[in-house]
């Protein structure tokens, strides 16, 4: 039984989701396999206005991961609500919509427009509040690097969203103590956490002897950051167990490519797991990872996925 509970009545039939930004808004992926069968489809972060993103090149490969500096390219919330959300509904997908903004007021505005959409109740299982994009200069600040800024975004978004739609704050690993940010987001009303966004990096082209990415820095994803994700989930889950911060469901993300990887994040404390960069090499990865995870639990005689969440802490 792969059912997982994300709180506030949100039950997913399986815990394997897509990661934001890695499969746009689902249309290409759905040509290959039914996205209604994914635990939930997580959309590319959407802002208020259409956005073309950063200059190119904005991708760089490394031996164990990928660096991106997309810069929040997207259609804006009004086109999203008009085209993407009805499409997600028409194929029966459970969607987690990722929202972003360059001010806390913009986050609230995006949330308001999303909640007002005719397809909202039928389609949106949860909202991911992306306070951790490394590629947008909010006057040099990534919200999730600062507890007060993280709390401010959540405080403005919470009143816009019905209680039945949990808000997951997406955190960055680029902080000294991620439990401080987790506490700020949860105390300001986030009902769950997604960990982690990409890790800030730079690549230099040794032929040209210049930085490779047009925007200089990018976010590192893929196998390289899996131990960082496991560490972040571990620290926050441990703080919850110890009663140091409020308890809430965690969605794990970072370098998951196999069912075993998904199990690792789960054992650290994640109640669901997103597959991101792996999709670029294997578009069917989310479905495969769910199958592998099921087989792995079955082979170990574990009847329910929910029984292994965080159990590595019982040592
Ligand atoms: O669009 C991006 O450049 C981007 C975003 Br919003 C994010 O949250 N994480 C990332 O690695 N890239």
Question: Is 133 known to be catalytic?
Answer: yes
Ligand 1 atom showing the smallest separation from residue 198 Cα = 11
Largest Cα separation within the chain, whole Å, is 55
Tell me if 135 CB under 6 Å of ligand 1: yes
- Taking each helix axis as running N to C, give the angle between helix 226-241 and helix 259-268, from 0 to 180 degrees, rounded to the nearest 10: 30
Judged on CB neighbours under 10 Å (0-12, 13-18, 19+), 25 is: buried
Does ipTM top 0.90?
yes
The tens place of each residue's pLDDT in the chain, 315 residues long, gives 999 999 999 999 999 999 999 999 999 999 999 999 999 999 999 999 999 999 999 999 999 999 999 999 999 999 999 999 999 999 999 999 999 999 999 999 999 999 999 999 999 999 999 999 988 765 568 999 999 999 999 999 999 999 999 999 999 999 999 999 999 999 999 999 999 999 999 999 999 999 999 999 999 999 999 999 999 999 999 999 999 999 999 999 999 999 999 999 999 999 999 999 999 999 999 999 999 999 999 999 999 999 999 999 997
Whether residue 220 has its Cβ less than 6 Å from ligand 1: no
Atom of ligand 1 nearest to the CA of 70: 3
Residue 160 · residue 129 · CB < 8 Å: no
Number of H helices, E strands in the chain: 11, 16
**Which two structure tokens, joined as six digits, stand for 244?**
């140091």
The CATH architecture one would assign to domain 4-54+72-203+220-314 is Alpha-Beta Barrel (3.20)
Domain boundaries, the chain: 4-54+72-203+220-314
- Cβ(142) to ligand 1 under 6 A? no
How many other C-beta atoms lie within 10 A of the C-beta of residue 105?
13
Alpha-carbon gap, residue 217 to 107, rounded angstroms: 24
Ligand 1 close to Cβ of residue 134 (< 6 A)? yes
- Name the percent of the chain in helix, strand, coil, to the closest 5: 40, 20, 40
């Amino acid at each position: 039984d792969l059912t997982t509970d994300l709180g506030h009545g949100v039950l997913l039939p399986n815990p394997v989701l897509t990661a934001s930004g890695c499969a746009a808004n689902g249309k290409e992926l759905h040509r290959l396999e039914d996205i209604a069968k994914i635990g939930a489809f997580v959309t590319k972060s959407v802002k208020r206005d259409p956005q073309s993103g950063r200059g190119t090149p904005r991708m760089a490969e490394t031996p164990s991961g990928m660096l991106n500096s997309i810069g929040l390219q997207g259609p804006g919330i009004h086109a999203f609500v008009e085209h993407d959300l009805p499409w997600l509904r028409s194929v029966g997908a459970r969607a987690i919509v990722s929202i972003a903004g360059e001010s806390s007021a913009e986050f609230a505005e995006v949330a308001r427009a999303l909640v007002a959409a005719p397809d909202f109740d039928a389609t949106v299982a949860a909202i991911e509040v992306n306070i951790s994009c490394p590629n947008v200069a909010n006057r040099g600040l990534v919200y999730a690097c600062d507890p007060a800024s993280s709390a401010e975004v959540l405080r403005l978004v919470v009143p816009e969203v019905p209680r039945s739609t949990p808000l997951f704050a997406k955190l960055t690993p680029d902080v000294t103590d991620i439990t401080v940010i987790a506490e700020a987001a949860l105390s300001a009303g986030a009902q769950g956490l997604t960990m982690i966004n990409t890790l800030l990096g730079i690549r230099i082209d040794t032929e040209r002897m210049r930085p490779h990415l047009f925007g200089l820095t990018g976010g590192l994803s893929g196998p390289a950051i899996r131990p960082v994700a496991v560490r972040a989930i571990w620290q926050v889950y441990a703080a919850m167990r110890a009663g140091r911060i409020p308890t809430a469901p965690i969605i794990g993300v970072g370098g998951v490519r196999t069912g075993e990887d998904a199990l690792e994040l789960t054992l650290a404390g994640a109640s669901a797991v997103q597959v991101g960069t792996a999709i670029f090499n294997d578009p069917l990865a989310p479905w495969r990872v769910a199958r592998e995870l099921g087989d792995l639990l079955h082979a170990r005689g574990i009847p329910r996925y929910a029984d292994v969440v965080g159990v590595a802490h019982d040592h």
